[in-house]
Structures are given as C-alpha cells and as structure tokens.
Amino acid sequence: KSSVAKAAAKKLGFLYVDTGALYRAIALYLLEQGIDPADGPAVAAALPGIKIGLEDTPQGQGVFCNGKDVSGRIRTPEVSMATSTVAAIPAVRAFLLGLQRELAQKHDVLMDGRDIGTVVLPQAQLKIFLTASPEERARRRAAQLKRAGQPVDYSQVLADIRQRDQQDSTREIAPLKPADNAILLDNSSLTRDESVAKIVDLVRQQRDAALA
C-alpha cells in the first residue's frame, strides 16, 4: 500500500505522508524507553517528549524521532504489534492529528492511513479506500520482509495481518472503515504499476471535474 501511494505521490508531485510510519515511530520510542504500549496513562505522559517529523534523506523520505532517522527500525513485526496497541490510545491519536493536519495545510499531500478520509481530512478533495485480500497482503508483506533480509513465516504474517485488521476495524476510536464518499479500489489482482496508474488517473479525473 505504501509503495503504491509513494509512487503515485511522486508522479503527481505531492508530498507523500505515510501516517502508519508516524504511529510506528511512537511505538518504537515507547519500546525503547521500556514503556508498556498498552499503558494509556504512561504513554500519554511520554508524548510531550516525542518529536516526529518527515525529512528527505539520500535514501528518500525518512521518518525522524527526536532527530534520529528511525525509518528502518519501525518495520519489524514487534513494532507492528506494539503500534496497533498504541494507535488505540486517544491521546496518541490526538497528538498525531495536529501533525497530520499541519502537513496537509502546508503541502499538496497524498496522505496514507486508515482514518484520513473519515477523521483527519474529512474535506479531502479525493478519498480512495485501497484494499486487497488478507492473503495477497500477507504475500506482499512476506516478500517485503524477505527483501529486507528479515526472517519470514508466511502463516505467521497472515495471522498477524488478520489480527491487526480485527483490532483496527473493531476499535472504538477512528476504526478502519471507508469514508462515505471514498472510492473503493481493490488491487488484489492489479500489479503495483497498474495500481499507481489507477490512482493517478483518479486524481486527474477529480481535478478535471473540479475545473469544469
């Protein structure tokens, strides 16, 4: 999902904002500080000490936490699990809401995240709900982990995806669901390039319609 979104943003000349990476950076910080990601009050108390930003690096856009590039370390299965827990804490969502809106105000953005159309940017000019089957997503994630040189167990990756989907779509705060006016795009049987082309097309159509 994020590689498709990133490529579409590049073609359009928009700033790409991977909001999952922002939540991941918070989870990583908490794990490193020995703070339990499920301990709401402790997590809320830690937030003022966290400064997160997106910066260009020679390797492309990087996620920074308190001045350190954490882009590589936020992609482990351990951080993924902790992130899902942390993302259910209202104080964390409020903390990142301001940052996300600020980015959208300052730039033309392609913002990628579960609650962007519903909560963060309800007035977005175009909303796309990009989805694929859990099996296809597990296959893609496993290939991604393999490329990154990390150990891969397909059935574990699939089980993690199902568990996170369940956790993310049933949580009370900002659950994973399409905005009413979102365009549904299931890319299970599309290649990465086809998905990018489809999204770029949708943006151009929307622009043309707005100008007409």
Residue nearest to ligand DC (CB): 20
CB 184 within 8 A of CB 131: yes
Determine, following the binding rule CB under 6 A, whether residue 73 of this chain makes contact with ligand DC.
no
**Binding test (CB under 6 A) with ligand DC, winner from 4, 43, 95, 115:** 115
The region of 30-38, 54-62, 112-120, 186-194 touching ligand DC under the rule CB under 6 A is: 112-120
CB 57 within 8 A of CB 69: yes
**Binding test (CB under 6 A) with ligand DC, winner from 83, 118, 187, 195:** 83
DSSP category for residue 105 = H
d(CA 178, CA 160): 21
Query: What mask, x for binding ligand DC by CB under 6 A, covers residues 13 to 32?
Result: ------xx--xx--------
By CB under 6 A, the count of residues binding ligand DC is 12
Determine, following the binding rule CB under 6 A, whether residue 164 of this chain makes contact with ligand DC.
yes
Determine, following the binding rule CB under 6 A, whether residue 118 of this chain makes contact with ligand DC.
no
Q: How far is CA 95 from CA 34, 52, 118, 120, 194, in A?
A: 20, 10, 17, 12, 35
Q: How far is CA 97 from CA 24, 65, 136, 200, in A?
A: 15, 17, 30, 26
Residues 84-103 contacting ligand DC, CB under 6 A: 84, 87
CA angle 118, 13, 68 (to 5 degrees): 75
Binding site for ligand DC (CB under 6 A): 19-20, 23-24, 83-84, 87, 113-115, 164, 168
